[in-house]
Amino acid sequence: MKSFEYYLLLFENYLKGIKYQKNTIQNSALAVTLFIEFARTRGAGSIHDFTEADIKDFIESQRAAYGRYGKPLKPGSLKRRIAGLRHFFRFLYRSEYILVNPMEDVPADIKGIESRKEIFTREEMSAFLDAIDPSTSSGHRTTSPNGLRNRAIFELIYSSGLRISEAVNLNLADIDLAGRMLIVRQGKGGKDRFVPFSDVAALFLKKYIESERKRLERHTRPDDRNALFLSEYGRLKDITVRKAFGKILENIGTTRKNLTVHSIRHSCATHLLEAGADVRYVQELLGHESIETTVRYTHLMMENLKKAYKSAHPRENKYYEEIDEEYLRHVDKLKAEIEKRRQINTRYPPERYNKNRTKDRRKPGPG
């Protein structure tokens, strides 16, 4: 009888073979390892002993679990663990190591684990970016010697909707400053994609490459000298970007707790849709495999429109003012925008994708 660890190793090799990102593989392996430890305490001795009840009880135990730094596990982390476990059992079933997938009937959308996407308003995004580079900001300024590098990377993430891992993995050869295009190599799902970036991002990238990057390159190991974004220790790491992000928020006095570096990517998508960009274009830009993932941003944008309406409508406020022509123009603009987004949601209804996903789950496995 093969050990649990044997099947975990097969699973990790499988994920490597289909070009999954290193972080995704590590997160999936952690989820499976934690589940195996949990199942062992309940008497499981082989992969055939796992039951749906074990999985549901494990998920409940993870709701009360703590992360690496002694803090309660965030909803996003819990969701990743569940996704990793789901992928593991799908792998075992399709590879015919098990005859029944015990996770097949565990709900995909488990109530309470979907965290709300936080985004910047356009004004907040501008204030955040302008607070980074001392040569262009007014008001708050960072004291970091790497201000120009930080401005370049955050401008690029916002301009192109990049994931933080995609930004730090860029090499100099991946950037075309003249054409304002970059290539994301081995993005999520192991796919490459070409992405445009803005004039502003190009400006700060050029300044960074010609000044700070040259300074940093002198202290860099040969293996990292192809990297676009450098630190004093080599290729820039995710954690350094996150620390810089937190410091900038602190400097501008932002009190919203749920903003993260990934919020910049969310903000890029939402602001593009608000400006009238086609949802298919945004899907291609962000590298979403399914348009369903992109359409979620239209629902987020609807929430923003509702907030704007609520703050503007005299009957929604604590005081009442006479309706004037300016107010009526504002309401007409909001109504037109809401109708436009309703048409998009009509063309791409969530029910269609939920129905397809249900069908996929019911397809019999091999053999």
Enzyme catalytic residues: 163, 188, 262, 265, 288, 297
Residue 96, Ramachandran bin (φ over 0: left; ψ between -120 and 50: alpha; else beta):
left
Whole-angstrom Cα distance, residue 244 to residue 148? 12
**Structure-token pair, residue 273:** 């849709």
Query: How many other CB atoms are found less than 10 A from the CB of residue 228?
Result: 24
Q: Give the CA distances from residue 216 to residues 48, 208, 228, 270, in Å, rounded to whole numbers and listed in that order.
A: 54, 10, 11, 34
Phi, psi (deg, nearest 5) at residue 349: -70, 135
Whole-angstrom Cα distance, residue 92 to residue 7? 8
Whole-angstrom Cα distance, residue 74 to residue 95? 32
Whole-angstrom Cα distance, residue 323 to residue 290? 44
